[in-house]
Structure 1
Amino acid sequence: MASSDETYSRADAEDEIDILRRVEDDVVDAIQNAENEDVLEYLIEDQELDSVHDGKRGLGAVRKAVLESSIASDRLKRIVSLRGDETPEDILVPRDVERNAKVALEAGKPVVLYGPTGTGKTTFAKQLARETGIGYTLNTATPSWTPSDIIGGVSPDYTGDDLSYRTKLGCVSEAVQRARTFDVEYGVILDEITRADISKIFGPLYTAIENPHQTIFETDEGETIELDERVNIICTMNMSDRTVNELDNAITRRFAMIELDEYEEDKRRQLFKDWITTHVTDQSDLVDSDILRLFERDYEGINHGHEATSQGAIMRFGPMHYRDVAVFLGVACREGGEYEHDQTAAVGQAFRTYVVPRLLNSAAFPQMERIVQHYRALNDEFDEFDLSPAAELAERELEQERRQMGSYDQ
């Protein structure tokens, strides 16, 4: 191993690769003393020594050394930061949605991606974070969230003999600290923020956005945290049960509101084809074109209505739900699967399991009636499949709703 005051060459790395695979400290030294980025590319891209020592994902000593390196490019830093991230590379959201979100972040505005369930908001949030920084953290909101989950707070420390208290960074403060430490652009995703009380949890963040140089948190070590222009804040919001007009003005004034709703028809169709090919084709005797036509008819009927009945859309419903249907069919209909010998029934069961409950979850009574009509019509149209389980579930829920309404009227 080269001494700490000598540069470390690609030839050194190749000669000592067996040792480097065994000794983490030697890899860190090699990165810190590398004579050029070619050495780092060999260690990280070719040999993937960060995975060898740090695991499939997470920030270990080797990845930290790369992120701290003055000769590592943003591309190489992004590789180690996103190791193990399986987010799809292809961005399928409408072009104006992608452009508006990127412009907002470049202008220093936090972003809220909002729209109906199943429109791929979380996937796009991760893609956006990847495109605009070298890494990101994903944090899913819960009803118990408080401002400390965003900014930071005090939490009990049970590690010593006596109970003590320490400051703990929130997800935004943690992103700021990481951007500072490695001098990089970094993303923080706050997913499904409608699960929490937005006005409550975002109060200190609103103040920080208005006054970016104001300290929002101080660690036990005396480090002050202020919002940093290198940190991109990206939120997602399910709008199936509310509209933008119902939101607190505080968030719409401080965040760029980016609606994610309709996909272009060709991209949506390509999604359906990819899922069917990946999950269904090799595992079942189901005909791809029939499954694709069913997905299209179901999606169109829910989102745009039926020409035959002259009725309009039932509700907004995204295409991502159909991936779950495709995965179910592949597992259920494969050799030895639960529906190997009853594959037409599997289709109705998949819709009963993944699509109908999600529709009913946010449906008002008139919409429930339409959902029943919709699946009855689909069951009549598609002789290839038994969609009665989906229709029957909707019918039972509708009848229960009728009984409840009847009891209220008495």
Structure 2
Amino acid sequence: MPSPYPKFQIRLPHGGPIGHGLLLEEKGTNGSQKFMVRAGSPVRPEVVPSFPMRMPASHNLRQRLIDEGRIVPSTAWPGYLETIEDIVCNSPSSAAEILVGRSSNGWLDWKTADGHPLSDFLTASWYGPNRTWLVRGSNVSGVDLVQRLWLPENRVSVAAGRMRDGVEQGISKDQLRVFVDEDYETVAYSQRIQLVEEFHAFLSKMKPGDTVCTISNGLLYVGEVTGGAEQVASEDGRSNLRRPVEWQSVGYAYDDLPEELQQKLSIQHDLVDLTSVAALVAGLGRSDEELAEEAGSGAGDGSAELAVLVARRELELPQPTEELASELLVHDVEWLREVRDLLWDDRQLVLYGPPGTGKTFLALKLAEFLSGGPEQVKLVQFHPSYAYEDFFEGFRPQEDPQTREVAFRLTAGPLRELADLASREGNRHVPHFLIIDEINRANLAKVFGELYFLLEYRNKSVRLTYSGDDFALPPNLFVIGTMNTADRSIALVDAAMRRRFSFIELSPRLEPTSGLLRRWLEREGRDAEPADLLDVLNSRITDPDFRVGPSYLMKKGVYRDGGLERTWRTKILPLLEEYHYGEDGNIEQRYGLSSLRAALTPTSSST
């Protein structure tokens, strides 16, 4: 009986010859439709290094065909092998893999002569791009189905013990919702909603060629869906809905996985769409060299391999340079490099010190340098009434531009906006910085909410309060806070925040702040007297948190006629009066310019 499908072909890597095949209606042992490789098809003479580990079944089949003499050196294509008879394989992917010598998605790589992939000719529910899924099976009613059923039998399943018989692949979500509401009526409403989503994804979204992952015994296992869904009788009700999967022979240690992949794997659902990190999954077990070779091999369009290489681009924070240290008037570039290293290790730090020590200026300039420009830097300022809804997301009144009606709508705050920007494709290797000015002026536990957890556990996800989304802080998002110590609020910072941030002091008694004004005056070609006056002033202030920073004297207005006296009278003395509020003593006599200048003038001694 003739096949209802057209003829398919696949080009071997590096612009090699074209193999030919035919999709069969008969199903293989793994539940997929079988595929016939036609006699006379060329075969790549070598395999890529990861092939035996990632696709052991296809590798073993290929080697057996060579050993049996069914694949032999080719006379038509010198340097290649070829098939001397029709070879029936369990799936289109395994058929493609024995020809190209590497992992292959046969549903996409086998094409008609006019370029249409095999998947276009399957059932309508299998249209669309391939996805990557996580299905949990290590603890289904106390049983590890991964080790007991999935890996040994090349399956993946979802427990649906109460589901009525006759549920078929491709069922609509509306119909499935009716079934779940009736069959699971004693289950909580929120759980029924989740069951509908998971059942619909397994039955109607998942398709052959999709990648499926699961976790067991601290390892991530990866496979390819090779066939449709079926409902089977399961005595224990743990595996009623099943799909065939060809699993790779090895697992990947969870602790060694990319952080962004760990974030997605931490989402607490039984079935999770991992398509946003599909490239990270596809790259497991494959070196950059292998991926680059395959991307340029001419097999397919190379887009999958290129996507993996792009996703693997390392996040980097550039090392501060001598030029940056000179621009910021920092005494030693090594100090800047230590700040950079703390950011790299912890991804959060706080610059703290008295007013006028350049905390905000340094945070902005350093963030712009490390991120590559101001477009990746956002600044917010905390205050006592600042809340989670202002910072991350919340419902705010907004006017509909058409109806002019005002309604409360979920609106993203600055952290959510920056996190979404940082996690976009193409941005993941680019550092993004959130500067939080006066971070200690807000109720941090109230402002951060559940995000407090993510500051410490960057490889985890949490369920958001308002949107209900599963959210994780992107690995390329860094936070720099500034904190004023003059109001004593640093003493109120709790241990939870101290554990999540590194703290760097900017104080007039320490470099780079102590010599900042003197270096600035030298660069501007001005007399060093203001620096001398500031040193004497701070020597008279016993509490280091109340000492005056150099920024007050690093403005052009200070150096116009009478500017220094005006700045001292209107900015510095009022600041010191506030510090000494309620105390006896003459502020002018102790901290005034005349008193400080007198201290700088050498006194003559009589003999």
Q: Identify the TM-score tier after normalising by the shorter chain.
A: 0.5 to 0.7
Aligned positions of 1:188-267 closer than 5 A: 188-212=434-458, 213-215=460-462, 217=464, 224-242=470-488, 244-261=490-507, 262-264=510-512, 266-267=515-516
Q: Of the candidates 96, 111, 119, which is equivalent to residue 349 of structure 2?
A: 111
Q: Distance in 2 between matches of 1:128 and 1:193?
A: 18
Larger strand percent: 2
Please list the CA deviations of residues 164-210 of structure 1 after superposition, one character each: whole Å capped at 9, or x if unmatched.
22222222222111111233211110111233233432333312224
Q: Of the candidates 524, 546, 568, which is equivalent to residue 315 of structure 1?
A: 546
Change (3 A) 1:226 1:372: farther
* Relative contact order, higher structure (CA 8 A, sep 6+): 1
Q: Of the candidates 169, 180, 186, which is equivalent to residue 423 of structure 2?
A: 180
Matched, 1:303 2:552: no
Change (3 A) 1:129 1:329: closer
Please say if residues 371 and 433 of structure 2, whose CA atoms lie closer than 8 Å, have aligned partners that are also in contact. yes
Q: Distance in 1 between matches of 2:585 and 2:442?
A: 27
Change (3 A) 1:314 1:348: farther
Residue 363 of structure 1: CA displacement? 3.5
Please say if residues 185 and 232 of structure 1, whose CA atoms lie closer than 8 Å, have aligned partners that are also in contact. yes
* SS in structure 2 of the partner of residue 124 of structure 1: helix
Residue 238 of structure 1: CA displacement? 0.6
Change (3 A) 1:380 1:243: same
Aligned positions of 1:6-405 closer than 5 A: 89-90=327-328, 92=330, 97-134=335-372, 135-160=376-401, 161=403, 162-181=405-424, 182-183=427-428, 184-212=430-458, 213-215=460-462, 217=464, 224-242=470-488, 244-261=490-507, 262-264=510-512, 266-274=515-523, 277=525, 288-289=526-527, 292-293=528-529, 295-305=530-540, 315-324=546-555, 327-330=556-559, 333=560, 343=561, 345-366=562-583, 369=586, 372-375=589-592, 376-378=594-596, 380=598
Q: Distance in 2 between matches of 1:381 and 1:138?
A: 42
Please list the CA deviations of residues 91-138 of structure 1 after superposition, one character each: whole Å capped at 9, or x if unmatched.
526656533422222113311111111111111111221233232111
Residue 156 of structure 1: CA displacement? 1.4
Quick one: which amino acid aligns to residue 249 of structure 1?
Answer: A
Change (3 A) 1:247 1:93: farther
- Corresponding residue for 1:406? none
Please say if residues 395 and 409 of structure 2, whose CA atoms lie closer than 8 Å, have aligned partners that are also in contact. yes
Quick one: which amino acid aligns to residue 410 of structure 2?
Answer: T
Please list the CA deviations of residues 142-168 of structure 1 after superposition, one character each: whole Å capped at 9, or x if unmatched.
222101222221211113422222222
State the percentage of identical aligned residues: 24
Indicate the RMSD between aligned Cα atoms, in angstroms: 3.7
Residue 355 of structure 1: CA displacement? 2.0
Q: Distance in 1 between matches of 2:568 and 2:475?
A: 45
Q: Distance in 2 between matches of 1:312 and 1:211?
A: 37
Residue 365 of structure 1: CA displacement? 4.4
Q: Distance in 1 between matches of 2:478 and 2:579?
A: 31
Residue 90 of structure 1: CA displacement? 3.0
Q: Distance in 2 between matches of 1:193 and 1:314?
A: 17
Please list the CA deviations of residues 65-110 of structure 1 after superposition, one character each: whole Å capped at 9, or x if unmatched.
xxxxx8xx99xxx9xxxxxxxx994352665653342222211331
Residue 237 of structure 1: CA displacement? 0.5
Please say if residues 152 and 170 of structure 1, whose CA atoms lie closer than 8 Å, have aligned partners that are also in contact. yes
Q: Distance in 1 between matches of 2:333 and 2:400?
A: 50
Please say if residues 117 and 238 of structure 1, whose CA atoms lie closer than 8 Å, have aligned partners that are also in contact. yes
Structure number with larger C-alpha Rg: 2
Q: Quick check: 106-115 or 354-363, which moved more? A: 354-363
Give the TM-score, by structure 1 length.
Answer: 0.56
Q: Distance in 2 between matches of 1:314 and 1:366?
A: 17
Change (3 A) 1:128 1:243: same
Please say if residues 302 and 315 of structure 1, whose CA atoms lie closer than 8 Å, have aligned partners that are also in contact. no
Please list the CA deviations of residues 238-258 of structure 1 after superposition, one character each: whole Å capped at 9, or x if unmatched.
111216443222211111111
Q: Distance in 1 between matches of 2:591 and 2:331?
A: 27
**How many residues end up aligned between the 2 structures?**
270
Larger helix percent: 1
* SS in structure 1 of the partner of residue 481 of structure 2: strand
Q: Distance in 2 between matches of 1:108 and 1:312?
A: 30
Q: Distance in 2 between matches of 1:195 and 1:314?
A: 16
* SS in structure 2 of the partner of residue 107 of structure 1: helix
Q: Distance in 1 between matches of 2:585 and 2:445?
A: 32
Please say if residues 217 and 226 of structure 1, whose CA atoms lie closer than 8 Å, have aligned partners that are also in contact. no
Change (3 A) 1:174 1:367: farther
Q: Distance in 1 between matches of 2:585 and 2:482?
A: 27
Stretches of structure 2 that go unaligned for 5 or more consecutive residues are 1-309, 319-324, 602-607
Residue 302 of structure 1: CA displacement? 2.4
